[in-house]
Amino acid sequence: MNTILRYAAQIALYVAFGAALGYFSSYPVFQALPPDQALVRLSFSHGAKPISPCRERTPEELAKLAPNMRVKLDCPRERAPVQVEIEMDGKPLYQITARPAGLKRDGASTVYRRLPVVAGKHTFKARLADGPDGKFTYVSDATIDLAPGKVLVIDFNAGKGGFQFVH
Amino acid sequence: MLKLLQRAGQWTFHRADGLFTRVFGEHLNPLFHLGALSYFMCWVVVVSGLVVYAFFKTGVREAYDSVEYITQQQWWFAGIMRSVHRYASDAMVLTMLLHLGRHFFFDHYRSFRWFSWVSGVIVLWLVYASGINGYMLPWDRLAQFVTVTTAEWFDTLPVFGGTLIRNFIFEGAVNDRLFSLLSFIHIGLPLGVLLVLWIHTQRVPGAKIMPPRTLALYGLGALIILSLVKPVQSQGGQADLSVAVTLIELDWFYLPVYALLQRWAPAEVWYLVGGLTLIALATPWLPPKRSRKEAFHMMIHPDNRIIAIRDGEFVLDAALREDVRVPFDCRSGGCGMCKATLLQGEVDYGLYQPAFLTDAERAQGKVLLCACTPKSDIEVEYVPVETPGKIAVAVHTARVVRMNRLSHDVMQVFLKCEGEETPRFYAGQYIDILLPDGEKRSFSFATAPHERELIELQIRLVPGGRFTPHVFNEMKVGDTVRFEGPLGSFFLREDSEKPIIFVAGATGFAPVKSMVEHAIHTGFRRKMFLYWGVRSLRDLYLPDLPGEWERQSSSFKFVPVLSDPQPEDHWEGRTGLVHEAILADFPDLSDHQIYACGSVAMVQAARPAFLAKGMSDYDCFSDAFRFAPRTEARSAEMVRLGGTA
């Protein structure tokens, strides 16, 4: 291979190297969410009620305990699972039963879910049960106009009255 | 299946090697320097990253604004550095993957190579972690995409369990401290990369961590030009957690998994990535198992060393592992730098570029040490280009200025180099006397390096030989000889405090004389013991000299040992084999260095006995051998110090 041809080939290969770096560092462009969709993000962390009610210890039971441990009420550590159901425009969108965290199942139940939906006006209804009876004690709904790409966060905070629709 | 894949990969690399060699030349072929290029790109990333970090501010608003500032206002310096930082990171991934692919396809990851392979896989993941972490810092829409997706992905791990994403759920949830944390990680992880890279290269003999300067400069130039042509920009403005990322320009070198995370469930991606990582880590031990073959030994000249070659090990790697400074460059059979002569034995020539080892050369016994593996014990000779201390090996002409007959079969010959200084050398090295027909005969320097005037050789007569009878019968003062040197890696190590035991057999005394006189001259404080083993008293050809050394240095002690004393010797000193005398005097050799110079038979008997007494392999130096040799008898004879016929 003569010198000029070699230099030309070297330049061509360096250009190809640069072009490959330049192209694949950005392209092809990735469509993370289709252009006509919005995103619902369900996220909360909630400690449910105990799995069973507290009971009073009998005098015999108390007597067996060390003096400093003689507490009348015996409450279970384990919590009930949290059940959540989300409906959109009257149709089920998502449901989950989240177990409490921890080896003793005494921690909070945490849920995160990413739910792409078609953009537009939607009515959302959210229900949550956090007791051993499985009864939905928290129910909320909201009608929201979601622009394409817009994020709706469905959060839950019992201290603030239950579900919150943040968008 | 695997073999088919590897064959296809080998074919592809082999063709690409050939093409790139034609274009870049054999010494600048980037495919021969993939590991070193990865190292170089890593340094470019570190340096450009430090520049960018000087401008970077750790705050929600400040992070984005400071990166925008360097991109738009400071584009001519920090902006270019930002782009170089990004593109060098991409280039590093590219070269690393090619480097890994090359070793996979050529089946260079099993057996003793497992360490380099496994540490390489760890480097790869650390580089990915560093790069992905870096994408979070500019806090643009791409940073939002990477950060949120990372949190979503990690939240499927039980340790997080859905809590991590709570930090990125609402606009305003992110605070300034996040960027301090991310910056901290972005410094810590690359430090981890450098550490593991260093470990990765430690076990590779003669590993090069810098590519040729020209290649490095051209590569850097290409990155800078690319940075000017397509400067890296922040995407879509500052991160806004209330708006989902829809269309994004992904860096496909680092973020293909992030695209997959939008299509697959996070747990599935964990299974894929975790599974691939486990397979990659276990690859050296996965089937098909290669049948374990016998390891062979190599006698290598001009060092006159015998070295064990592990199953599947290239001859070059074995030599470099044992500190034999064989010249090399590409390590891929593509440059011819390591071409040597196969004197004995059979090799598998391996894959190489035919332009650098022609059929005619093969027929003449040439091999490429970086591509061949032994099929029997072998004997090879290479042309050295440097010796320890980078003293150049050169051919000199010298005149015989003095000759003394020291004993019935030893001649002391003093040479003076003509028209030039005596070459610099290390105490213990040797020269090759060049005979008119190209044959060589090796003799150690008996003079210490500080004696610049003359070179002393001690030549033992080998009856019927080609050269030594000439020395005894025909050579006279005024004759000229040509020699090549200095040669050999057997020299006095001065970086230890351990006491030294010199074991000399017959004319093995010559290099010991050089070393002891050097030690006394430089004021060595280490204890030195010389055990000189000869057959009978008349073979102690310089009997008074060691006594003189004892008077000059209280650290030096001399013990002569005769293996076959004659009645007329009236010998009352030590008798028997010289190494047995040492074993009797030193029940524990773990804290000593041993320099053994003598016949193969002597060292062959001594070495295992020394090892059994606790001697470290790293503290035994010998010009004769390191492992039990099984080479041809003629070859074994050649390592005898004092020269052959």
pLDDT of residue B291: 64
Tell me if domain B296-381 and domain B500-638 are identical in fold.
Answer: no
- Domain B31-145+174-246 in CATH 3.40.640.10: no
pLDDT over 90 (residue B84): yes
pLDDT over 80 (residue B290): no
Match domain B388-487 to its CATH number in 1.25.60.10, 2.40.30.10, 2.40.100.10, 1.10.760.10.
2.40.30.10
Q: Which of residues 159-188 of B touch A (CB under 8 A)?
A: 161-163, 165-166, 169-170
User: Across the interface, do B94 and A21 touch by the CB < 8 Å criterion?
Assistant: yes
Query: How many angstroms separate the Cα of B608 from the Cα of each of B580, B604, B617, B638?
Result: 12, 8, 10, 22
- B587, B613 contact by CB (below 8 A): yes
CA gap B390, B269 in Å, rounded: 52
pLDDT of residue A27: 94
User: Across the interface, do B249 and A27 touch by the CB < 8 Å criterion?
Assistant: yes
Lowest mean pLDDT across A128-142, B92-106, B177-191, B600-614: B600-614
Residue tagged 């035991």 (tokens): B501
DSSP B375-417: SS-EEEE---S--GGGPPPEEEEEEEEEEEE-SSSEEEEEEEE
Q: Which of residues 214-233 of B touch A (CB under 8 A)?
A: 218, 222-223, 225-226, 229-230, 232
Query: A80 in helix, strand or coil?
Result: coil
Nearest chain B residue to A35, by CA: B246
pLDDT over 70 (residue A90): yes
Residues of B in contact with A149 (CB under 8 A): 243-244, 246
Nearest chain B residue to A165, by CA: B170
User: Across the interface, do A35 and B247 touch by the CB < 8 Å criterion?
Assistant: yes
Q: Which two tokens stand for residue B640?
A: 């005898």
B188 Cα to chain A: minimum distance (Å): 24
Confidence band (pLDDT; 50, 70, 90) for B30?
Answer: very high
pLDDT of residue B390: 64
Residues of A in contact with B25 (CB under 8 A): 6
Give A40's contacts (C-beta < 8 A, 6+ positions apart).
A86, A88, A93, A114, A115, A116, A117, A124, A151, A152, A154
Residues of B in contact with A14 (CB under 8 A): 218, 222
**Mean pLDDT, residues B97-107 taken together:** 94
A37-51+79-166: CATH class: mainly beta
User: Residue B339: in which H helix or E strand, if any?
Assistant: strand B339-344
Q: How does DSSP classify residue B243?
A: B
pLDDT over 90 (residue B16): yes
CA gap B247, B244 in Å, rounded: 10
Lowest mean pLDDT across B342-346, B401-405, B494-498: B494-498
Domain ranges of chain B: 31-145+174-246, 296-381, 388-487, 500-638
Rounded (10°) CA dihedral B262, B268, B274, B277: -70
User: Across the interface, do B152 and A34 touch by the CB < 8 Å criterion?
Assistant: no
Confidence band (pLDDT; 50, 70, 90) for B26?
Answer: confident
**Mean pLDDT, residues B218-247 taken together:** 95
User: Across the interface, do B94 and A20 touch by the CB < 8 Å criterion?
Assistant: yes
pLDDT over 50 (residue A128): yes
ipTM: 0.91
Just give the CATH number of B296-381.
3.10.20.30
Domain ranges of chain A: 1-30, 37-51+79-166
Q: How does DSSP classify residue B77?
A: I
Give the nearest partner residue to A13 out of B23, B244, B248, using CB atoms: B23
Q: Write the single-letter amino acid at B386.
A: E
Match domain B500-638 to its CATH number in 3.40.50.80, 3.40.50.10240, 3.90.550.10, 2.40.50.100.
3.40.50.80
